[in-house]
Amino acid sequence: MEPILQVKNLTVTFNAFAGKVQAVRDVSFDLNRHETLAIVGESGSGKSVTTKAILGILPKNGRIESGEILYQGEDMAKYKEEDFYKIRGKKISLVFQDPLSALNPIMKIGKQITEALILSKSIERSKAKQRAIELMDAVGIPQPEIRFDQYPFQFSGGMRQRIVIAIALASNPELLICDEPTTALDVTIQAKILDLINDIKKTRDLSIIFITHDMGVVANMADRICVMYAGKIVEVGTADEIFYEPAHPYTWALLSSMPDLDTKEKLFAIPGAPPNMLAPPKGDAFASRNKYALAIDFEEEPPFFKLSDTHYAATWLLHPDAPKVEMPEILAHRIKRMKEKEAESND
Amino acid sequence: MTDNMSRPLLEVKGLSMHFTTKKRGKVSTVKAVDNVSFNIYRGETFGMVGESGCGKTTCGRTIIRLYDPTGGEVIYDGKPISGKMTSELRKYITEHIAMVFQDPIASLNPRMTVQEIIGEGLKIRGIVDPKERERIVVDMLQRVGLMPEHATRYPHEFSGGQRQRIGIARALVVNPSLIIADEPVSALDVSVQAQVINLLNDLKEEFGLTIMFIAHNLSVVKYFCDRIAVMYFGKLVELATSDDLFANPCHPYTKALLSAIPLPDPRAEKRRKKISYDPKEAHEYGAGNMPDYHEVSPGHWVYCSEQEFQDMLKNKA
């Protein structure tokens, strides 16, 4: 399958008062056509910055130091602001985390959607209203004709997020970037929005980059997953591989730090705090919080070790000479339970 | 069982909290909490779940008298605490019940040091000697996993998880028996959530606490709580032990809620069937068929009509 977007060795820094913050360090990934790629990590891991770099909406003090972002045969890392006009909000759209602050509170909902339609030049002004109502209908807003003339405060959180999605879809993009689209929503509403995103992905042939820190949401959405820590991708694989055969100690920690419905054991809390990205530690950035860390982790950065054609992890534990370690018990138990449940449902 | 064990620590009877607003001369009432009853027993962790706006936070805040209840009764350890607020009553409540808030940034005064924030409760309780207060604060800091030198710092110098530890220390320092924890981990990062949950679990053992845990993350509630109450639009719709609730949900809203929990298992996600809940379609309430509390099995209460109750019993058998 040919990739629609390729990110190669992307490095992004921020100039801060105290020095240069290395937010994204040498990140590479491909997004295949029609797939959902999830980027998972804690806050500060660089997942949002990566997508902001793709869309050219880094804050003023942010800079792409090196690397390429290949889209339609062009390197977007070299784009000027004007060059982005033909891409941003047209070919690539963004769904924001907080639907309240993403909408203009003093502009009618309908106007906000038609504005996007007209700016993307996909439609004439006279037909914009009709098209906007169709879009509102497509994202599951009841009575779109009435809702068209209402303001954001008259919408619930879930409905607002549907509007944000409708605006993102206005220009018929082929790539949708969802930045924690359901973090601000309730479980039941979250489930509906995730279903909606999956539906429009199918009906509109979208490719999606999905950013989240919620492993449960990832399992629902992703075809492939990148796990990020301290500005680097530490593990990449299909959803199945990440959840059933995780290999990086950070992925283990992330998975076992949250209870599932059968967890009885004490939770595995990651000790300490993420490293200071002004001066990223030498070697593996996760080493100081990792109880499985080897001496070499503090010296040299681990390369990616191949586990399968789609599954790679950057940890020295996979080196042939490394001592054999088992994943945390709480996680091993859960995976065993997951396999048992699957066998049960197959019977 | 001794009398002390069987008598609930907190009894909530028909608690209502209605808010009225006037809009263009029209008075409208929001029934944030409507006729809610439950008991919390000594030493247990009582979970309260529901979507935002269902009244779970209001319920917690009404119990600790941040609001004056519209109706109903709250009895703590045999003494009613929902009546007219007097200085003795306020003293009684603050001595026995403490609250941990959701937002660790907004709930700490940025102009007070950690020492002052945690020590304030002690001061009010009459521990006047600053040396003594300092000793207690430092001890408390260590128990929640912070350092003695943190005492002189300000809230902005801490990370989210550390701030929530300060909030927990502030609640615990007055030695309460009941803690009302209102979404204490929702604002925190995944890995930090685990730290705070483990901390609460340890402190519960150490201090023999009773905890009312308000949250919307069902996996966390299932993991942490002994009994769970589900709220929907101001009503308590189902109450059961956490294992029973997840194994045999009875109310259609509970079923919908449980079916929407995201699971960290891609294969299970593909198998999962989501149930939706629309109160208008799910129930046929009317004259002679009004909902009330029914006990489906010992300790498992559902808010439903007589007819629904009979159906549930049939399905169970």
Q: What is the pLDDT of residues B98-151, one digit of tens each?
A: 999 988 888 999 999 999 999 999 998 888 899 999 999 999 999 898 989 899
Question: What pTM was estimated for this model as a whole?
Answer: 0.87
pLDDT < 70: residue spans in chain A: 1, 122
Name the pLDDT band for B315 (thresholds 50, 70, 90): confident
Does residue A137 fall inside a structural domain? yes
Inform me whether the C-beta atom of residue A217 falls under 8 Å from chain B C-beta atoms: yes
Q: CA end-to-end span of chain A, whole Å?
A: 34
Residues A340 and A231 in one domain: yes
Residues of A in contact with B215 (CB under 8 A): none
Return the pLDDT at B1: 37
Q: Domain for residue A183, yes or no?
A: no
Question: A154 and A231 share a domain?
Answer: no
> Phi and psi of A93, rounded to 5°?
-120, 160
CB A58 within 8 A of CB A18: no
Chain B contacts to A (CB-CB under 8 A): 51-52, 159, 161, 189-195, 197-198, 201, 216-220, 222-224, 246, 256-257, 259-269, 271, 274, 277
User: How do residues B2-44 score in pLDDT, each as one tens digit?
Assistant: 444 578 999 999 999 999 988 788 888 889 999 999 999 999 9
Residue B311 binned pLDDT confidence (cut-offs 50, 70, 90): confident
Q: Which range of residues forms the domain containing residue A342?
A: 227-346
Residue of B nearest to A225 (CA): B266
Residue A81 to chain B, least CA–CA distance (Å)? 33
CB atoms within 10 A of CB B79: 12
Between chains, do B263 and A260 touch, taking CB under 8 Å as contact?
yes
Kindly state whether residue A283 falls inside one of the protein's structural domains: yes
Q: Topology of domain B40-68+83-233, per CATH?
A: Rossmann fold (3.40.50)
How close does chain A come to B263, measured CA to CA in Å?
A: 4
- Asked whether A304 and A312 are in contact (CB, 8 A), the reply is yes
A340 touches chain B (CB under 8 A): no
User: Which residues make up the CATH 3.40.50.300 domain(s) of chain B?
Assistant: 40-68+83-233
Closest partner residue to A254 (CB to CB) among B190, B223, B267 is B190
Taking an 8 Å cut-off on Cβ atoms, the answer to whether A217 and B260 are in contact is no
- Please give the full DSSP string across A93-152, using - where no structure is assigned: EEE-S-HHHHS-TTS-HHHHHHHHHHHTTSS-HHHHHHHHHHHHHHTT-SSHHHHTT--G
The number of C-beta contacts closer than 8 angstroms across A and B is 121
Under the banding of pLDDT at 50, 70 and 90, the label for residue B70 is very high
- Which residues on A lie below 8 Å from B190 (Cβ)? 42, 213-215, 254, 257-258
In this prediction, residue A187 carries a pLDDT of 83
CA distance B55 to chain A (A): 14
Mean pLDDT of B74-96: 91
Pair (A308, A232) in one structural domain: yes
Q: Answer whether A257 sits within 8 Å of B198, measured CB to CB.
A: no
Q: Is residue A13 part of a domain?
A: no
Report pLDDT digits (tens) over B173-184. Answer: 999 999 999 988
Q: Residue A40: which of A201, A199, A253, A205 has the closest Cα? A: A253
| Closest to B214 in 3D by CA, of B14, B42, B63 | B63
**A338 vs B contacts (CB less than 8 Å):** 265, 267-268
User: Which of B216, B265, B266 lies closest to A187 in CB terms?
Assistant: B216
Q: Out of A128, A147, A172, pick the residue that ends a domain.
A: A172
* Residue B317 confidence (pLDDT) above 90: no
Q: How, if at all, do strands B235-241 and B300-304 pair?
A: antiparallel
| Whether residues A232 and A161 fall in one domain | no
Across chain B, what does the average pLDDT equal? 89
The answer to whether A257 and A267 have CB atoms below 8 angstroms apart is yes
Q: How many structural domains comprise chain A?
A: 2
> Quick one: what percent of chain B has pLDDT higher than 70?
98
In a domain, A264, yes or no: yes
CB contact under 8 A, B264 and A43: no
Query: For the residues B289-310, what does the mean pLDDT come to?
Result: 89
Quote the pLDDT of residue B310: 87
Q: How far apart are CA B110 and CA A13, in angstroms?
A: 30
Kindly determine whether residue B265 and residue A43, on different chains, have CB atoms separated by under 8 Å: no
| Range of lowest pLDDT (A61-70, A83-92, B233-242, B272-281) | B272-281
DSSP symbols for B1-45: --HHHHS-SEEEEEEEEEEEEEETTEEEEEEEEEEEEEEE-TT-E
| Sheet arrangement for strand B10-23 | B26-40, B10-23, B71-76, B79-80
Closest residue, chain A, to B242 (C-alpha): A261
ipTM greater than cut 0.85: no
Kindly state whether residue A136 falls inside one of the protein's structural domains: yes
What is the CATH number for A274?
3.40.50.300
Provide φ and ψ at B158, rounded to 5°.
Answer: -115, 160
Q: What are the tens digits of pLDDT across the range B200-214?
A: 999 999 999 999 999
Rg (CA), chain B: 21
Q: For residue A240, what is the nearest residue in chain B, using CA coordinates?
A: B266
Nearest to B189 among A213, A253, A261 (CB): A213
Note whether A218 contacts B: Cβ–Cβ < 8 A: yes
Give the chain A residue whose CA is nearest to the CA of B201. Answer: A266
Nearest to A186 among B194, B216, B246 (CB): B216
Q: In what order do the strands lie in the sheet with A74-75?
A: A19-32, A3-16, A62-71, A74-75
